[in-house]
Chain A
Amino acid sequence: MNNSYIWISYLVTYGLILGYVAVVWSRIRSHRGRSSNTQT
C-alpha cells in the first residue's frame, strides 16, 4: 500500500498518544523522585 496520507494519519495518531504518555510518565517520575528527596 503506497499511500502517504494513510501512513501520516497513523503516525500522527500514535505519535500524539506516545508523546502524551511520555510526558505523563516523566512528570510522575519527577514527582516521585522529588518526594523521596524531601523525605530523606
Chain B
Amino acid sequence: MNRSIARLTLGSLALVAIAAGLWLAFTSAPDVFQRDYVRIMYVHVPGSWLAFLAFGVTAIASLAWLISKRMVFDRIAEASAEIGVLFTAVSLLTGMLWGYPVWGTFWDWGDPRMASTALMFFVYLGYLALRRAVNDPTARARRSAILGMIAVVQVPLVYFSVTLWRSLHQGMTVRPDGIAMDGSMVAALFVNIAAFTILYAYLMVERTLLARLEIEAAVVETELAGRSVARPNLEGLI
C-alpha cells in the first residue's frame, strides 16, 4: 500500500475512533461515588496504557537494534519514547485534575503510583535528552538502546505499585476475576483505549517518517559541506 494512503487511512480511523470514544465518554452512566468525575478516567486510563505500550515498544526496538544494528529500530525506539513521554504527561495531568475534586489533593508524593509515574516521566525525558546530546548516530543508538532497555523496568513497577505498596490510588479495576464496572462504563473505557491505540499507530508512522527525513537531511548537509571544502594547496610543504 502507498505510504501516504496508509497515513491517511490510519489518521481517519483514529479520528473516527476518538469521536466514538468522546461520545461514549460523555453519554455513559455516572459513577455512584465519583459522579461525573469518572469521565476523566476515559482519557486518564488510555493515556497510562499508551505510555506503557510506547515504552515497551522502545525497549523491544532497542533490543532489536542491539542485535541487528539496523537504524530503523533506533528510529522506532526514539519515536515511541517521545510519544510515551507525551502520554505520560497526559496521564499525570488528568490524574491530578481527577485527584483534586475526588481525593481533595492534586498531588501526594507519598503515593507510590503517582511518585513512580513521575519518576518514569523524568527518566524518559532523560532518554530524549541523551539522544540530543550525542552526535554520532551509532554511539547515540547504542547508548539510548541500553537506557531504553533498563528504563522499561519501571513499567511493571508503576503498574503493580497499587498492589505492592499501600496507595491512595485505587486498585486494579480490570482483574482476572472480572471487571468491577457498569457495562456502559466498560464500553466507554475500552473504546477510548482502542482509539488511543490507533492514534499511537498513526503517531508512530508520522514520527518515524520525520526521523527518516531528518537523517536524509543530515546526510545531504554533510555532503554539501564536504563539497565546499577546497583541496589544500600543499605545494612546497611536502
Contacts and interface: CB of A to CB of B under 8 A. Distances in A.
Interface of A: 1, 3, 5-6, 8-10, 12-13, 16-17, 20-21, 24-25, 27-28, 31-32, 34-35, 38
Given A16-B89, A35-B216, A9 B44 contact: yes
Main secondary structure of the interface of A (DSSP, over half): helix
A27 B97 contact: no
A1 B28 CA distance: 13
A8 B90 CA distance: 12
Nearest to B26: A1
Nearest to B209: A28
A32 B203 CA distance: 18
Contacts of A32: 213
B217 A31 contact: yes
Contacts of A24: 203, 206-207, 210
A1 B35 CA distance: 11
B39 interface: yes
A5 B206 contact: no
Contacts of B216: 31, 35
